[in-house]
């Protein structure tokens, strides 16, 4: 998250643009979940711009509550499930496949109680210096946070892919920096994190789709002439 509605809006538009570029470069189905991550983060920041408007009194209570709920759904149940699943789909080697599958199971095991927590009560938000503080009421928060970080950062570090390991190191460092900055009441590091993640994922998609890599293909309809899809 950023320090104002305007900052979140600007950052969200830029990151979403990078996310669309990532999806445009996808050449095989296994890339799709991770390639969608920058767009998810961009939309997340756009949603938080609406949360800021609600906190500032520039958005009605109903839309503001929807914005807070959508923000929490993306931040809590979606990301710990999406990231390890994306790694599992993206890495084509059989080596370490069982370990990657274990991170997927952990991610979904963390996502389920977080989804229940978000659905169980209204999400609140209030300004805390230059950042927003959300109230969600997550049970066993330290345990779920540890599982969240292990599922996301751990799956990237254990992927065996050099670029994805770099992404995992960046996400882990940004998580620590974000916690420290929040405690010091400075602006959150999540804008910088979203930008870094987007650029790294864009580089990964471009490299993974280099000449010689398998491309997305579609079956040709009977009697249809010409090429039926990208090669």
Q: Would you kindly state where each structural domain of the chain is located, as residue ranges?
A: 5-208
Is a pLDDT exceeding 60 seen at residue 219?
no
Is a pLDDT exceeding 70 seen at residue 182?
no
pLDDT, residue 225, reads 42
Enumerate long-range contacts of 191-195, CB under 8 Å, 24 or more apart. Answer: 191/1, 191/2, 191/7, 191/8, 191/11, 191/45, 194/11, 194/15, 194/38, 194/41, 194/42, 194/44, 194/45, 195/11, 195/14, 195/15
Is a pLDDT exceeding 90 seen at residue 117?
yes
The pLDDT-based confidence of 227 (bands split at 50, 70, 90) is very low
Rounded mean pLDDT, 200-220: 63
| Tens-place pLDDT, residues 188-197 | 556 778 888 9
173 or 29, which is more confident? 29
């Amino acid at each position: 998250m950023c320090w104002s509605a305007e900052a979140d809006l600007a950052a969200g538009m830029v990151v979403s643009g990078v996310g669309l570029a990532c999806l445009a470069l996808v050449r095989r189905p296994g890339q799709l979940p991770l390639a969608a991550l920058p767009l998810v983060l961009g939309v997340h920041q756009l949603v938080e711009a609406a949360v800021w408007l609600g906190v500032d009194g520039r958005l009605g209570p109903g839309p503001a509550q929807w914005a807070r709920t959508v923000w929490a759904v993306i931040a809590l149940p979606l990301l710990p499930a999406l990231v390890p699943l994306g790694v599992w789909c993206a890495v084509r080697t059989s080596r370490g496949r069982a370990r990657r599958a274990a991170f997927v199971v952990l991610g979904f095991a963390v996502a389920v109680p977080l989804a229940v927590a978000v659905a169980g009560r209204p999400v609140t938000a209030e300004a805390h210096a230059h950042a927003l503080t959300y109230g969600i009421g997550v049970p066993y928060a330290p345990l779920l946070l540890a599982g969240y970080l292990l599922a996301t950062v751990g799956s990237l570090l254990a992927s065996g892919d050099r670029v994805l390991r770099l992404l995992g190191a960046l996400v882990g460092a940004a998580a620590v920096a974000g916690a420290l900055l929040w405690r010091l009441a400075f602006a959150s590091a999540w804008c910088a994190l979203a930008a870094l993640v987007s650029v790294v994922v864009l580089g990964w998609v471009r490299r993974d789709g280099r000449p010689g890599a398998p491309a997305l293909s579609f079956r040709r309809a009977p009697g249809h002439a010409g090429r039926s899809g990208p090669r």
